[in-house]
A and B are shown apart, each in its own frame.
Chain A
Amino acid sequence: MKKLLTATAATALMASTAFAAEEVKIGIILGFTGPIESLTPSMADGAELAIQEVSDSGMLLDGATVTPVRADSTCIDAGAATAAAERLITSDGVSGIVGADCSGVTGAILSNVAVPNGVVMISPSATSPALSDAEDNGLFFRTAPSDARQGAVITEILMDQDIKEVAVTYTNNDYGKGLADSFQQAFEAAGGTVTISAAHEDGKADYSAEIGALASAGGDRLVVAGYVDQGGSGIVRAALDSGAFDTFHFPDGMISEKLLENFGSEIDGSSGAHPSPSEELSTAYADLVDGRFDSSSPFTPESYDAAALILLAMQAAGSTDSSDYKTKVMDVANAPGEKISVGELAKGLEILKNGGEIDYEGATGVELIGPGEAAGNYREINFEDGEDKTARYR
C-alpha cells in the first residue's frame, strides 16, 4: 500500500512538472454574479478569445498551451473576490490575472492578493481614478481608461449639446463616487452647473425618495452613474414615472442591451458614452468574434486586450514569472515597434520571439499612459426611436 502511494505520488509529481513547462494558466476574475452580471459573460469570452488565439498559434514560449481559469469577483463583495483571487493563485497557479471588473473589488484584490503574491493583474474595466495612485509594485495595469477621462468626455458631450445644468446620481461605491466627482470637477471647470450630486444604494425596490431630491434640485439632464442591472435602472424608471427627468446621460455602467430592453423609446433624446475603439478596430474585432458572442457589449474588446497584453509581455520577457514580465507590459503596448492589431497575435508573438519590438494596438487601440492605464477612446451614443445610435468616437 505504502509503495503504491509513493508510486502514485511520484507519477503525479512527474506529470505535473512535465506539464508545467508547456501549460500557462491565466486567471479571469470577473463579476459573474452581481450588479454587472449581464456584461461579464461577453467580457470573459473576449479574454478567452485572445487566450485561444495565442494557444492555437503555438508560438508562445516554445509552444506552450494557455488555459483560462474563471473566478467570480461578485463586483461588490471584496471578501469573496479576495478569496476567489487567492484560490486562482495558490490553488490553480495562474501566472497572470485578467480582472477584476469593478473598481472596489479590483483595489481589494490588488492590495490583498496580487501585490503580496507578486502576480501581474490587468483590469479591462476598473475605471476608478483612485486606482491610478494605488500601491502596485508595477504589477497593475488597465486597458480601460480612468474615469477622470470619462468625466472629461461626458462634459464635452453635454457641452456640445448645449446642456449647462445637470443633476448627478451615482451608485454608492468607488466607481460611482469616482466618476461623479471627476465629472463634477470637469463640468464645473467648463462652466456648467451640477445642481445636486446624490448617491443611491443598489438593490432597493423604491427610488421615489431619491428622485424627489433630484427633481427638486432640477437640471436639464440626469447623469446616472450607476449599474444597469441594479439601482441605475430603478432610478431611471422612477424618474420617468414621476416625470422628473425625460432625458439622461448614461456612462459606461449603464450602456447595455438591457437598458433598451427596459426602457425602449422612453429614453429617446438621451446621450451615452462608453470606452470603445474606433470604427475600423471594432469592425475588425466583430469579424474576429464572428457572432460567437456579443462583440459590442462594453468592455469585451478591453478584455481581449488585457489577456493579449499579458501573453505578449510573457513572450517579450521569455518567462511566465510576473516579476520578469511586468516591466514588458508597457513596452509591448506602446511604440516603438510594429503595430499589432486584433487577430494578429501570432504575428506579434513571432516578432517578439525573433527579438523585435511591437506596438500592440489590439481591439481598442491600446495606448498605456501614466501608471499603466489606457488613454481611452469613447463611443458617443444618441438614443433615438428606441435604439442606440453611434454618434461619433472621441
Chain B
Amino acid sequence: MDFLNALVALSNFVLVPGIAYGSQLALGALGVTLIYGILRFSNFAHGDTMAFGAMVAVLVTWWMQGIGIGLGPLPTALLALPFAILGCMALLLVTDRLVYRFYREQKAKPVILVIVSMGVMFIMNGLVRFIIGPDDQRFSDGERFIISARDFKEMTGLDEGLTIKTTQGITVIVAVIAVALLFWFLNKTRTGKSMRAYSDNEDLALLSGINPERVVMYTWLIVAALATTAGVLYGLDKSFKPFVYFQLLLPIFASAIVGGLGSPLGAIAGGFIIAFSEVTITYAWKKVLEYIGAEPSGLVQLLSTDYKFAVSFVILLIVLLFRPTGLFRGKSV
C-alpha cells in the first residue's frame, strides 16, 4: 500500500507533468533541429514562432467559442489548430521571402543568420504583443480532468491523489501523432528524402537535381506545423503568455543540443531528458521516501525550484564540454 502511495505521489508530481512538459519541449526542439539540419543555422526566433502560432489558435478559438462551435469534452483549440498552422506557415514563408532568402543568396555565414534570426525574433515578439497584448490569455475549455485527485482517491482508497489533466493527455497523444507523421514524411516520401539528402550534402543534392528553394519551403512549412502544435499544447496545458515562449527558448535549445543538433530522434530524447531533469532535481523527495520506509530529516530537495532554468543550462554546458555533437551524434555546434 505504501509502495503504491509512493508511486502515485511520484506520478502525480513528477512523471505526469514531466511527460507532458517533455513532449512540448520535444516538439519545439524538433523544429529547431530541422532548421539547423537543413537551413544550417540556429533559429532564435523559434520561441516567438511558437507564440505566433499559439496566438492565431487563441484568436480562432475565441471566434469559434463565440459562434458556438466546440468539441464537447475536448478543448476547442484542437479545431483551431489547423487554422493556426496555416497562419504560422504564411508568416514563416513571408519571413523567408523577405529576410532569409536575401542572406541565402549572399551565401551568408551561419553566425550572420543567427543574428538575423534574433532580429526576426524581436519583430515577431513585438507583433504578437501588439496583436494580443502581453497578458495571460485563457482559451482552454471542455473537460478539465481525465482523472481528478479527489476521484482517484475515492476510486482506489489510497492516501495520495493522481491528477491527469485533459490537456496533458492531449499533449502526449498529439505529440506522438505529430512525431509519427514527421518520421513517415522524412523517411517515406520523395520530398522528405530530398530534404534529408539536402541536409547530408548540399552540393551532391543540387547535382542530383533537387530544387533547393523547394526544400527550404517544405522545411519552413513543417517547422511552422511543429512550432504551432508545440505552442498550442504548451498554452493549453499551462497558460498563454507571449513572454513565456521567449523564456522557453533556453530549454528548447538545450533539448536540441543535448540530443544532437540536426538529429530528430535526438531532439525527442533531449526534450524528455531536459524536462525530467528540471522536474526531478527540483522535486522535494521527502514524501515519496517516507512512503517507502526512509525517514528523511529534511525535504530532500536538491535544488530550490528557483533554479529550474539553471538545470537546463548546466546540462547544456556538460554536454557541450564532453560530447559537443550531442547524445545522438548530430552536427557539432
Contact = CB atoms under 8 A, between A and B. Distances in A.
Interface of A: 172, 196, 198-201, 203-206, 208-213, 215-218, 234, 241-244
Specify which of A201, A210, A216, A241 lies most central, judged by the most chain B CB atoms within 10 Å of its CB: A216
B14 interface: yes
A213 B244 contact: no
Contacts of A200: 305
B48 interface: no
B282 A213 contact: yes
A178 to B, nearest CB: 18
Nearest to B244: A205
Given A216-B13, A217-B286, A242-B12, A209 B305 contact: yes
Interface in B272-316: 278-279, 282-288, 299, 301, 304-306, 308
Given A196-B284, A196-B299, A201 B306 contact: yes
B241 A205 contact: yes
Contact of B278 (A205, A209, A242, A243): A209
Interface in B84-107: none
A205 B234 contact: yes
A144 to B, nearest CB: 27
Interface string B119-155: 0000000000000000000000000110011101100
Interface string B159-185: 001010100000000000000000000
Specify which of B165, B279, B286 lies most central, judged by the most chain A CB atoms within 10 Å of its CB: B286
B299 A204 contact: no
Contacts of B282: 209, 212-213
Given A205-B241, A216-B284, A198 B304 contact: yes
28 contacts: A196-B284, A204-B244, A205-B234, A205-B239, A206-B21, A206-B237, A206-B238, A208-B13, A208-B279, A209-B278, A209-B279, A209-B305, A212-B13, A212-B282, A212-B283, A213-B301, A216-B285, A216-B287, A216-B299, A216-B301, A217-B284, A217-B286, A241-B163, A242-B149, A243-B148, A243-B152, A243-B161, A244-B13
Contacts of B243: 203
A211 B239 contact: no
B322 to A, nearest CB: 27
A217 B305 CA distance: 14
Nearest to A195: B299
Contacts of B330: none
B241 A212 contact: no
Contact of B13 (A201, A203, A206, A242): A242
B324 interface: no
Given A216-B287, A217-B286, A241-B165, A210 B305 contact: yes
A206 to B, nearest CB: 4
Contact of B279 (A196, A204, A212, A216): A212
Given A209-B308, A212-B13, 20 more contacts: A196-B284, A198-B304, A198-B305, A203-B241, A205-B234, A205-B239, A205-B241, A205-B244, A206-B21, A206-B237, A211-B13, A212-B279, A212-B283, A213-B282, A213-B305, A215-B9, A241-B144, A241-B145, A241-B165, A242-B12
